[in-house]
Structure 1
Amino acid sequence: MSSKAAFPSKVSGCWRAHPGRLLCLGLAVLALGCSEEPGPEVTGISHVLLFNEFAGEYRFTLDTGRGGTQPIQSDDTWYMSCDVSIPDSPSMYVARKDHAEVAQREPDAITIMFLRVWPESSSERSVAAMLDDYYYVMGTCPVTFEAADNDPAAGTFSADACAVATKFGDEGRLEFAEFHVKNCNTEPSE
């Protein structure tokens, strides 16, 4: 028997002897390729005014694109998280990964935005935003979350106008924030 004829017969004999292995390998590859759930998706817009005694009033915006209608997901540019697993305290976080560079290119851009629903009696910060590479504003603003009708992992975060401030004492105002979210975490962490 020549080596050319022996090699294919050995290989084919091996595959015939272990068809279950092939089936399991194929199913494992398929499951691994399809089991990854999509990350959070965010669409929306927010405006913050910052008042400075010497420099005046500045407006900062976070816009996911096309007037807050273009969805964004975590990628090389954005990081985001959204958690609705705690019914009384859902939260979302959106950040530009290159926020320092964006702040230099677009001085009126909000590069990080955090919204969280807290009970009315809580004194916890419910809104936070990075206005440039220097100013980070926070406030105890009323934030609401309205869940989507047919999807427990989706809904809308909203915050009406409220006072915010920097740690340096500069006063500001969140004019509004509205973000539609999908694919939020719905499982409580352990």
Structure 2
Amino acid sequence: MVILRGTSILSNVRRMTPAEMLRECLKFDVKAVGIDAPCRWAEAGSGRLAERELARQHIHCFATPTQEQAKSSPSGFYDWMLCGELVYHAFAAAYPLLNDREYEGNRVTFETFPHAIACSVLGRETVSAKRKLVERRKLLETVGINPLPLRSIDSIDAALCAWTAGRLVAGHARSYGDAAGGYIHVPDSAGQRCNPNRLA
């Protein structure tokens, strides 16, 4: 988990339980928490609108299954989505899910993910999977965040999610999806940085 104030890293912790993450966010008075996991499960027989809209923009994402499919998967592939569900639940009282296109100023959690962030900011339909570590480090540098303390791709991705939270708070994010299937929020561009006086 990474917490930013503007472009300064306030917290960078690799292993935390959802409850510990919540305490850390409250400690720093975080306003918005970007989570790299689906905020809604798919309904049987239909996918999520957000994922279809991203696909039309040539932005790939893993298709979210139903909750039952995730739990019954023999490969354990969807375990990261189930872990994300635990984070949303742990945060729900203090940081309810943003189930709207616009941020209205209260504490919220919201869904985002680093590949879509990178595609949005870099203005390209595809970003190389082989070069994602290099490209995402450069992306952080471009928006003014020093990537040197971030020693893993997970930390870099967490910083991108935190930066996107700042963009959301500042009103510089766009959304895909609908209330029924959940929204995915990404930064609208890299042209304006987070307001350094607001925490995200």
| Shorter-chain TM band | under 0.3
TM-score where L is the length of structure 1: 0.28
More strand by share: 1
Structure with the bigger RCO (C-alpha within 8 Å, sep 6+) is 2
TM-score where L is the length of structure 2: 0.27
Structure of larger gyration radius: 1
More helix by share: 2
